[in-house]
Structure 1
């Protein structure tokens, strides 16, 4: 005669689970048909951004080898290796397309992301990108010494920042900084490192902010009423 544990496991519903024996008690799970079972199928919809073609200008050359793409233009050269969830194809019309290789949730997430990254590469080497910052505060100023950006932000010493390769910086009226280049991620990272030294404070708005940034102001503490 089979043990209670074995017989219960053999006669249980396929969707039920056997929990085993614990502290001398035999614990059984209830069939899923008794407690309710919710099953939801997740559909992998095609990304609206990912399915858009990428226009390649005449002054940009592409080199595609397997999952690696190299883009070269008048401003510079960029390369990227794609994950196995997506593939890159060059059409006869000159457009570039990023497609899903498999129908999974991760592939759906990677589709739109890598299409955007690919478009940034093409636009970057042909037209370039720029990020503008503004210094607000008494005595706040910026100057260039060759490939070194010098910032006076109210510290006891000036802040000196070396410019990365492929990044150009222009200073206007000592209070406006323009960071430009062909790699959008590098531009954003360097601009963020400048802003990090003195983020804008919410009371008087002093600090380093992006030109299109809106700083939410707070009302200062009122003096004591007499």
Structure 2
């Protein structure tokens, strides 16, 4: 498979939460195939934006490979990083409204998860091609703060380091009047959420030519 971009995700291990994420979004990034989506009116529309990424929490945002690098080197560097990284922990995951979309977010002490994300961004940065002017302009349409713009210039993405907030996206942007409805719908279908939540593995994923992301390899955190 030829990939256009790569990213480092947290992808829930096979089990109830991963199964839910696949049938909720309609895309199974672990198997790299469509999943039969839950029969919920309107679900296809509200999950259109996050569907192609699969059910995940971003640690290092999608990037194109820099000149002189390749997937073989990226997989080796990711394995080296994972061997040195300690797992991140929080008290659990909860359903949260972030802006106008729904996601699962950690509660409690999130310093370990934030540390892990920062490590992923920094340690693999030599594999990231710089953003194009068009990509920078598209990001800046979001009315970034001065700090977010600085992070965009340095790391290719505005929501990293202290601007990072770990989340597993469940919907695209909702209308205000839809939020309560979809909060109830998600809550009715969610499996039991982990308490505590342990992020002890990371996933290297790739964007296929059709624009969808799939799992390439998992790595256990051994630091």
Q: TM-score, normalised by structure 1?
A: 0.22
* Structure ranking higher in helix proportion: 2
* Structure ranking higher in strand proportion: 1
Which structure: larger Rg?
1
Larger RCO (CA under 8 A, 6+ residues apart): 2
Q: TM-score, normalised by structure 2?
A: 0.22
